[in-house]
């Protein structure tokens, strides 16, 4: 039952196992340190999507730097985009790589109809870099990340 449930989502273990099978390079995620955190994030996204993201200051992921309660951490996401047919954000995925299940949510926007801006509340299991990955209309991936320190495990 447990395996069945987890199979539906993407577990940290599944990603790591697949990555180790696929090549040693990705195993670095397990040894994440501040010095190479950015590279690990890019590797993780490449593994999930098959594309290499570019760090971009067009994405703004606002979260508290320190938050006591891991059960309900506020998050605001804003993307600088004209949202025209020719230049818009298709969707934005939020990832918490150190949660038991990595993908938090995916937001879908529509050119000329919705603004690429959303606020919500999420669960974090431990202090970590939360990632936002935006897929633009031309298929390119932009990413940003923000460090959040939680005191309690919101996934227990």
Partner 1 sequence: MSTPTPRVQVPRTAVKGEIIKIKALIEHKMETGLRRDSSGEVIPRKIINQFVCRYGDEVVFSVDLNEAVAANPYFEFYLRATTSGRLDFVWKEDGGRVFALKHDLLVG
What is the contact surface with partner 1 in residues (CB under 8 A)? Answer: 1-2, 5-6, 8-9, 71-73, 96, 99-101, 103-110, 112-115, 117-124, 154-156
Cβ atoms of 138 and 51 within 8 Å: the answer is no
Quick one: CA dihedral 36, 61, 72, 107, positive or negative?
negative
Q: Measured from the CB of residue 88, what is the shortest distance to partner 1 in angstroms? A: 12
Q: What are phi and psi of 108, to 5 degrees?
A: -110, 130
Q: Measured from the CB of residue 118, what is the shortest distance to partner 1 in angstroms? A: 5
> Which CB sits closer to partner 1, 32 or 105?
105
> Which CB sits closer to partner 1, 33 or 112?
112
Decide: helix, strand or coil at residue 92. strand
Q: Measured from the CB of residue 39, what is the shortest distance to partner 1 in angstroms? A: 23
Q: Measured from the CB of residue 140, what is the shortest distance to partner 1 in angstroms? A: 21
> Which CB sits closer to partner 1, 1 or 86?
1
Q: Measured from the CB of residue 35, what is the shortest distance to partner 1 in angstroms? A: 26
Q: Give the separation between CA 83 and CA 90, rounded to whole angstroms.
A: 9
Q: Give the separation between CA 10 and CA 15, rounded to whole angstroms.
A: 7
> Which CB sits closer to partner 1, 16 or 105?
105
HSE of 40 in the Cβ direction (CA atoms, 13 Å)? 21
> Which CB sits closer to partner 1, 26 or 109?
109
HSE of 76 in the Cβ direction (CA atoms, 13 Å)? 5
């Amino acid at each position: 039952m447990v395996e069945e449930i987890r199979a539906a989502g993407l577990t940290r273990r599944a990603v790591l196992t697949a990555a180790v099978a696929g090549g040693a390079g990705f195993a670095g995620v397990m040894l994440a340190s501040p010095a190479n955190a950015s590279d690990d994030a890019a590797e993780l996204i490449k593994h999930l999507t098959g594309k290499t993201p570019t760090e971009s200051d067009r994405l703004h992921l606002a979260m508290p730097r320190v938050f006591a309660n891991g059960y309900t951490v506020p998050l605001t996401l804003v993307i600088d985009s004209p949202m025209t047919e020719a230049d818009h954000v298709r969707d934005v995925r939020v990832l918490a790589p150190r949660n038991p299940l990595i993908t938090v949510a995916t937001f879908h926007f529509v050119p000329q109809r919705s603004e690429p801006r959303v606020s919500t509340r999420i669960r974090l299991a431990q202090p970590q870099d939360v990632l936002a990955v935006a897929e633009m209309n031309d298929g390119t991936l932009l990413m940003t990340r923000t460090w959040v320190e939680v005191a309690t495990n919101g996934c227990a």
